[in-house]
Structure 1
Amino acid sequence: MSNLQNTACPTKAPPVMKGGTAALLLGMLTLIIASFWTLNLKWGEFLSMEAFRSMGRFIAEFFPMDTQSAFLTKVGWGTLETLAMSLLGTALAAVAGLALAIPASKLHSNDKSRMRTPTRWVLNALRSIPELVWAALLLISAGLGPFAGTLALAFHTTGVLGRLFAESIENAPPEPADALRTQGIGNLKVFYFTTLPQVLPQLMSYTLYRWENNIRAAAVLGVVGAGGLGQLLSFHMGLFQMGKTATILAAMLLLVAIVDSMSYHLRRTLTR
């Protein structure tokens, strides 16, 4: 009986790491070690008592925070401007990303998808350029202010969401769409009535997550003149008005915390 049980339920051998995976891990480890060696990190100076005293003096300059009503009103408008930039930039990116995700996807097994590769190149190009670089480039044509920041968020996020949307579309269960295609219904109608309803909660979750990231990016884009809290931060920090700087930083932290909480609860609702 014991021999039969051993024969029926053989012990599985532990998984063996493939050569390509081992080479990749070894290469990453080598790069990490090389990074520490080439950067010449001065940990002794960073952790010295003089460094701690300098940081303590710098932090003390932030207090007391500036709470004058006129300045708080200015910070409030900057906060609303930052929020508007993130919302509009994300909304534009969601629409453009979905429009590019369709040609960037293989909708079914027999789909030739001739535009898949070039469209993915476009998405790669859009997301490979950081928001700050987009903003610096767009300031030349759009001028100073939140318009350049909004477009910068939209361009970069289009590349990110377009790729995520395309992967979701390709991974959708094919059976409902195939059932409609057998009836002679075109690809766009099949996508609208079957694929889109299946992937819509996931697309919304991705969009909300990117909104979380964009609220942080929008708060920083003003440093290059793209409006919002970042522009206030750059101005007052450049004048060494540390009390006003502390108030702006507190507004940034509060705004990011509120948006993160809202986005988290909305994503939880969509994925239930």
Structure 2
Amino acid sequence: MNPDMPKPPARDWTMRILMLLLLALIVASFATLPLKWREFFTVDAINSTTELLAGFAPPETSSGFLAKTFWAAIETLAMSGLGTLLAVIFGLAFSLPASGRFGAAPRAAMRAVLNVLRSVPELVWASIMLIAAGLGPLGGTLALGAHTAGVLGRLFADSLENAAPLPEQSLRTNGANATAAFMYATLPQTLPQMMSYTLYRWENNIRAAAILGVVGAGGLGQMLKYHLSLFQMPLAATVILAMLLLVALVDAISFAMRRALTR
């Protein structure tokens, strides 16, 4: 071997060890969970499932019930939109200290707060908010805002940390104050990514808002719980179809907006 040639870089085993640990976790999950795959495909299970699904047909199509479903869908859409807007406002405010702009101690403290916000599921937040605000869409909206603020705050903070520091430093060197340098140098770098994160979370919040209605937060979820509890399957089928259409509509709008941002 030529002594003048550079030595090959040392092999990094960190990623391989992590992959092996992940594989071991997956194997352990299958080994410890009582997954009864055979019972899932028995004749009784198939007949019961077929009978249940047959009860949903045909969906309820009376004009009065369709109008009620339409307004419940609007309520679900409003819950998700307002909850996401609140999350963006608070997430952006939380992301500034969480990105380390005010020092290491505020960064660690705010990251801990964001961890708590996003670790608590929306259903738990909804239960808390419904106790404080009563039944209805307000509790669901606040629950979506609290959980999503933790998610977006973390994502926004990571975007700010990964932004190139040179443009802001150049403006500060030339006499610009900290706020102006941030607004004109760092924020424009991260704004498209933040918008993409926001639109994606809005899609998720549409689904979450439908689920939160099950605990009394209003919208389509509350209708679905009511009709399923009374075994009114055709009415429940109409609500489920409305959920699917609403999610598909929001997905299409979000996809179009994300494409427009990346052009």
Calculate the TM-score normalised by the size of structure 2. 0.93
Partner of 1:117: 108
Unaligned 5+ residue runs, structure 1? 1-6
Partner of 1:27: 21
Q: Which amino acid aligns with 1:126?
A: L
Give the deviation of 1:260 after TM superposition: 0.3
Of 166-175 and 180-189, the range deviating more from structure 2: 180-189
Give the deviation of 1:113 after TM superposition: 4.5
Structure 1 residue 57 corresponds to structure 2 residue 48:
no
Aligned pairs for 1:1-272 within 5 A: 16=11, 18-107=12-101, 112-272=103-263
> Residues 212 and 260 of structure 1 are in contact (CA less than 8 Å); yes or no, is this contact kept in structure 2?
yes
Runs of 4+ in structure 1 deviating by more than 6 angstroms, as ranges, are 12-15
> Residues 97 and 103 of structure 2 are in contact (CA less than 8 Å); yes or no, is this contact kept in structure 1?
no
Query: 2: distance between equivalents of 1:99 and 1:244?
Result: 43
Give the deviation of 1:101 after TM superposition: 0.6
Q: 1:255 to 1:15 in 2, by over 3 A?
A: farther
Q: 3-state SS of the aligned residue for 1:64? A: coil
Q: 1:65 to 1:112 in 2, by over 3 A?
A: closer
Give the deviation of 1:15 after TM superposition: 9.3
> Residues 147 and 226 of structure 1 are in contact (CA less than 8 Å); yes or no, is this contact kept in structure 2?
yes
Provide Cα deviations, 1:215-255, integer angstroms capped at 9, x if missing partner. Answer: 01001100011111000000000000000000000000000
> Residues 224 and 239 of structure 2 are in contact (CA less than 8 Å); yes or no, is this contact kept in structure 1?
yes
> Residues 215 and 256 of structure 1 are in contact (CA less than 8 Å); yes or no, is this contact kept in structure 2?
yes
Query: 2: distance between equivalents of 1:13 and 1:41?
Result: 47
Query: 2: distance between equivalents of 1:105 and 1:155?
Result: 19
Query: 2: distance between equivalents of 1:61 and 1:243?
Result: 7
Q: Which amino acid aligns with 1:157?
A: T
Query: 2: distance between equivalents of 1:41 and 1:202?
Result: 40
Provide Cα deviations, 1:35-91, integer angstroms capped at 9, x if missing partner. Answer: 112211111110112211111111000011111111111101100000000000000
> Residues 100 and 106 of structure 2 are in contact (CA less than 8 Å); yes or no, is this contact kept in structure 1?
no
Calculate the TM-score normalised by the size of structure 1. 0.90
Give the deviation of 1:24 after TM superposition: 2.0
Identity of aligned residues (%): 58
